[in-house]
Amino acid sequence: MTMSDAKPEPQSFHPEEDPSDLLPRQRRARVFKKGKMIFQNGLRSIPCTVRNISEGGAMLQFEQAFLLPKEFDLQIELEDYEVTCERRWEDGLRCGVQFVGEKRHTSKQRAQVLKTSEEALKVEVNERTESLDNFFARKLAAEKPQQPGGSAQRTGPAGGGKPTFGKRR
């Protein structure tokens, strides 16, 4: 192994450096939001997923590989703004962007609607007990014993016991 193959030593903090010169990483929020990369004056766009976001940038993920522009506008579907971004790094289907412009207000594309787990379970239970053809109501009625004086039910086959293959009655 030669010296050129060796990994460089990690840079350590030197006391003569001013700590304010080092940019601290901003706190990122992990998200899973649908976004759109818009470029060429709005003529082209690429769908993406925002995986994490901070005040100064975001990490985007794509479904397939694209040639990404250096600068573009990012619009997030659940937010009410778009922002001009600069691509800082790329790694496979992911890229990191830095916000270089101010956030511009836009109309929301759609609103996020979340249900509590109790509401979601109530709907699921109702779907299991109610149906369009009243299957559960018919099953319950069939299980009830018949009242005396009601119409008699047939107990034998409809054809009187004779085999009638293919013949309708």
| For the chain, percent of residues with pLDDT exceeding 70 | 53
**Residue 76 placed within a domain:** yes
**Residue 14 placed within a domain:** no
Q: How far is CA 100 from CA 19, 25, 83, 118, in A?
A: 23, 16, 8, 43
CB 34 within 8 A of CB 54: no
**Residue 38 placed within a domain:** yes
CATH number of the domain that residue 37 is part of? 2.40.10.220
- Count of domains forming the chain: 1
Confidence of residue 15 (pLDDT cuts 50, 70, 90): very low
CB 46 within 8 A of CB 93: no
Find the domain containing 82 and state its range. Answer: 26-105
Greater confidence (39 vs 120) lies with: 39
Give the C-alpha separation, 74 to 91, whole Å. 18
Using one digit for the tens of pLDDT, what is the confidence trace for 147-158?
A: 665 555 555 555
Greater confidence (26 vs 31) lies with: 31
**Residue 156 placed within a domain:** no
* Token pair for 71: 């600068």
